């Protein structure tokens, strides 16, 4: 009995995605828990793994739009390692060597003829023959499901046409440029979702931004003084982010209105401190959430951020890692931004933007001195947060960073 490989449920708001990549080939013998495919959904890119060992038969092509719960492959446990009896008396059965996928020069003569006449690459067809080979019947079936394939039966051998463009969605750009001047690439679901959410946030929230600046010399001195001991003890560097996370938790306690969100006609006040920390990956921005920041040590915060960042960049992040934040910190300073207005991450009500640290002349006690300064920005949803609260919150953050002793004393 073949076991169906389905797109796993990813969370309430995710119904579909793109099966971006197969890690296995048709007819491969897979091990239990072996990663089978990369799934790109609106929110995250994740991996699907094999529930059981056996020979796999792929049912959708890479790049196909798939729904949650859709069967994308089947695993025949009888064909792979499981072909050996369960209790082999002498030694445990070893999985058979993976069957080689079909390549063009191992296709049968009838398959080769059909491939040439229809333009269908046998390598893209799921084979039902021995070792996953594509049979004539498989290719005939593929021909039926691909009416757009090149015409059959023409006297002249058909030439694979490179000029046939893929059907593009309706374009807003009236005068597309020739291909050498532009490259057109379909947005990944993640990118599409980012775009949608950013626009939605600006439409729905009454968003505005307040600014302040922070003298970083206090935090920098602390880092310089304790860095070595910190690394020695915790195996992770003491960064700026943990200070800001702690400062934000402190400020959220002082100004609980920020730790709230609108749900229809209801205001939800959150009594927990799960802080999202934006991480840039090559697939787009992701915001893994560090849970219960109020009860974490600085080192734990640093470790969790580092772990989440690694998972996000490796595409191994799960939906659970991204859900449930009450507030977000984003650090545009990593890339050198002096000042920006971040967009809040709905349904959260505010986001803190960190920026680059630059030495600037500032007036301290009537003297012009050079200090490492950072602009900080708080974008907030004016429907939930009043200007006074937002400004107070940002001042609390500024004060805590400039004088981290406040975090201990709690003022």
Which spans of this chain sit near another protein (rule: CB under 8 A)?
Answer: 80-81, 83-85, 88-96, 108-111, 113, 128-130, 133, 135-137, 140-141
**Cα distance between residue 379 and residue 403, in whole Å:** 23
Catalytic residues: 382, 386
**Cα distance between residue 327 and residue 103, in whole Å:** 52
Q: 3-class SS at 210?
A: strand
**Cα distance between residue 312 and residue 46, in whole Å:** 10
Count of residues in the chain: 411
Q: How far is the CB of 29 from another protein (least distance, A)?
A: 9
**Cα distance between residue 66 and residue 62, in whole Å:** 10
| Contact call for residues 261 and 201 (beta carbons, < 8 A) | no
**Cα distance between residue 193 and residue 180, in whole Å:** 28
| Contact call for residues 327 and 252 (beta carbons, < 8 A) | yes
Maximum Cα interatomic distance, the chain, rounded to a whole number of Å: 92
Q: Which is nearer to another protein, 102 or 245 (CB)?
A: 102
Q: How far is the CB of 6 from another protein (least distance, A)?
A: 26
Q: How far is the CB of 152 from another protein (least distance, A)?
A: 14
- Chain-centroid distance, C-alpha 241: 21
| Contact call for residues 24 and 31 (beta carbons, < 8 A) | no
Q: How far is the CB of 125 from another protein (least distance, A)?
A: 13
CB atoms closer than 10 angstroms to residue 310: 13
| Contact call for residues 205 and 346 (beta carbons, < 8 A) | yes
Q: Which is nearer to another protein, 35 or 93 (CB)?
A: 93
- DSSP for residue 58: E
Q: Which is nearer to another protein, 108 or 212 (CB)?
A: 108
Q: Which is nearer to another protein, 136 or 291 (CB)?
A: 136
Q: How far is the CB of 4 from another protein (least distance, A)?
A: 22
Q: How far is the CB of 49 from another protein (least distance, A)?
A: 23
The DSSP secondary structure of 265-320, one letter per residue, reads: TEEEE--S--EEE-EEETTEEE--EETTGGGS-HHHHHHHHHHHHHHHHTT---HH
């Amino acid at each position: 009995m073949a076991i169906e490989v389905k797109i796993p449920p990813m969370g309430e708001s995710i119904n579909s995605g793109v099966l971006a990549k197969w890690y296995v080939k048709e007819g491969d013998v897979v091990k239990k828990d072996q990663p089978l495919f990369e799934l790109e959904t609106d929110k995250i890119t994740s991996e699907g793994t094999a529930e059981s060992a056996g020979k796999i038969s792929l049912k959708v092509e890479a790049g196909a739009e798939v729904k949650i719960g859709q069967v994308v492959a089947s695993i025949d446990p009888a064909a792979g390692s499981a072909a050996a009896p369960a209790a082999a008396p002498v030694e445990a059965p070893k999985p058979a060597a993976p069957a080689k996928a079909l390549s063009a020069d191992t296709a049968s003569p009838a398959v080769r003829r059909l491939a040439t006449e229809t333009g269908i690459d046998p390598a893209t067809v799921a084979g039902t023959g021995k070792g996953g080979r594509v049979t004539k019947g498989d290719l005939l079936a593929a021909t039926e499901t691909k009416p757009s394939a090149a015409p059959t039966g023409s006297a002249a051998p058909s030439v694979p046409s490179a000029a046939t463009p893929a059907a593009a969605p309706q374009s807003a750009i009236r005068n597309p440029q020739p291909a050498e001047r532009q490259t057109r690439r379909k947005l990944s679901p993640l990118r599409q979702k980012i775009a949608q959410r950013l626009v939605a946030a600006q439409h729905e929230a009454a968003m505005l931004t307040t600014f302040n600046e922070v003298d970083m010399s206090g935090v920098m001195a602390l880092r310089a003084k304790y860095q070595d001991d910190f690394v020695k003890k915790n195996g992770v560097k003491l960064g700026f982010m943990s200070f800001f996370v702690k400062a934000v938790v402190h400020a959220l306690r002082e100004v609980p209105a920020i730790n709230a969100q609108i749900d229809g006609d209801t205001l939800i006040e959150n009594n927990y401190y799960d802080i999202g920390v934006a991480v840039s990956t090559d697939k787009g921005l992701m915001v893994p959430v560090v849970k219960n920041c109020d009860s974490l040590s600085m080192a734990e915060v640093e470790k969790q951020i580092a772990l989440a960042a690694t998972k996000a960049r490796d595409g191994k992040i799960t939906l659970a890692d991204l859900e449930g934040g009450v507030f977000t910190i984003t650090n545009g300073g990593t890339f050198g931004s002096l000042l920006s207005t971040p967009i809040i991450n709905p349904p959260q009500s505010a986001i803190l933007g960190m920026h680059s640290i630059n030495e600037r002349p500032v007036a301290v006690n009537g003297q012009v001195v050079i200090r490492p300064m950072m602009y900080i920005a708080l974008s907030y949803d004016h429907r939930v947060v009043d200007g006074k609260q937002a400004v107070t919150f940002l001042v609390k953050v500024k004060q805590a960073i400039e004088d981290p002793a406040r975090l201990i004393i709690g003022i």
